[in-house]
Amino acid sequence: MTTVETPTPREMTVIYSRADRIFRGIVTAGALTSLLLLGLIASFLIFRSAGTFREFGLNFITGTEWFSDGFREVGDESRPDNSVFSIGPMIVGSLVVATIAMLFAIPLSIGGALYIEFYAPRSIYRVLVAMLDLAAAIPSLIFGLWGIEIFTSFGVRWATLLNDRLGFIPIFSVEFENFGRSPFVAGCVLASLVVPITTSVAREVYSRTPRDLIDTCYALGGSKWGAIRSVVMPYGRSGVIAGAMLGLGRALGETVAIYLMLNLVFKYSYQVLDSTGGNVASMIALKFGEATDKEISALIASGLVLFVITLIVNMIASNIVQRTTPRA
């Protein structure tokens, strides 16, 4: 019996010419700028905030006081510097507002994405998709302006209603009946800011559902909801989660919209209808104007905390996106 020799594939070697190697080197260097930039941002923030972390330690994260003891000349030791910087309530505030925003944004985005992909008449499909992209490009400043000038009157009515009916639940209780600048109203505005982002990601993954799977579902006698529930939703789940994470990152780092909508109060508060709140990003913008050198260092430290939080959220999101995006 003769053995059949299977031919082994030839070794393919690519030899790049010198010009090619230079080209590849330049391109690689260009591509690595983002990496370098991210590294630079991180190291600069760490470097400039080291003093603050050395002085206040973990208290910077958990404390509730932000007090600047005023300007002084370099080396002026005539009076002690009693500045205290800590951002505990702002971190909690960021989380509270972002959570409220996501509670509204996630169902709205899923509904919006499903509607555009599966319910909207074909004639307005393209218009809706274009509108969605455009909405994602509306500056957050204009969302803030709209929020405080237009939305607040609606938001206050809902907040009053919530407080009236559900005020016995601690988080809906208030100390003063002034709902206009509450985390609840700000969270609603933030939700409308996040919805375009999460919706467009969700729509994108839903639109990639294999058509034959959906058709199979119909052929087996499934209804539209049946097809969505058993094919589209499971297929798009990780994409929707990734979109939500991206939106969460955006909500946590939002500055001007929150700056316009909320009173910054350095007090731990869980009452979402009370007019106390704030977030790290808007605090940085607020305190920056008249900050002393020492305070600048503390602000940079706050920036570092924010940077780390959003980076973790975004890395999780982009990891999910990369794992679920089919390779071209």
Task: Map the footprint of another protein across residues 203-232, applying CB under 8 A.
Answer: 223-226, 228
2 binds another protein (CB under 8 A): no
Q: Which is nearer to another protein, 3 or 194 (CB)?
A: 194
Q: Considering CB under 8 A, how many residues would be counted as binding another protein?
A: 95
127 binds another protein (CB under 8 A): no
Q: Which is nearer to another protein, 40 or 270 (CB)?
A: 40
Q: Minimum Å distance from CB 175 to another protein?
A: 26
Binding mask 232-251 for another protein (x = CB under 8 A): --------------x--xx-
Measured CA to CA, the distance from residue 129 to residue 211 in angstroms comes to: 19
Q: Which is nearer to another protein, 37 or 175 (CB)?
A: 37
253 binds another protein (CB under 8 A): yes
92 binds another protein (CB under 8 A): no
Of the candidate spans 82-90, 205-213, 231-239, 252-260, the one that interacts with another protein by CB under 8 A turns out to be 252-260
Of the candidate spans 59-67, 165-173, 268-276, 281-289, the one that interacts with another protein by CB under 8 A turns out to be 281-289
Out of 57, 107, 210, 234, the residue judged to bind another protein by CB under 8 A? 107
Q: Which of residues 43-72 bind another protein (CB under 8 A)?
A: 44-45, 48
Q: Which residues of 121-135 are buried (b: 16+ CB within 10 A; e: fewer)?
A: eeeeeeebbeebeeb
Q: Which of residues 151-170 bind another protein (CB under 8 A)?
A: 151, 154, 157-158
Please state, as a whole number, how many other Cβ atoms lie within 10 Å of the Cβ of residue 251: 29
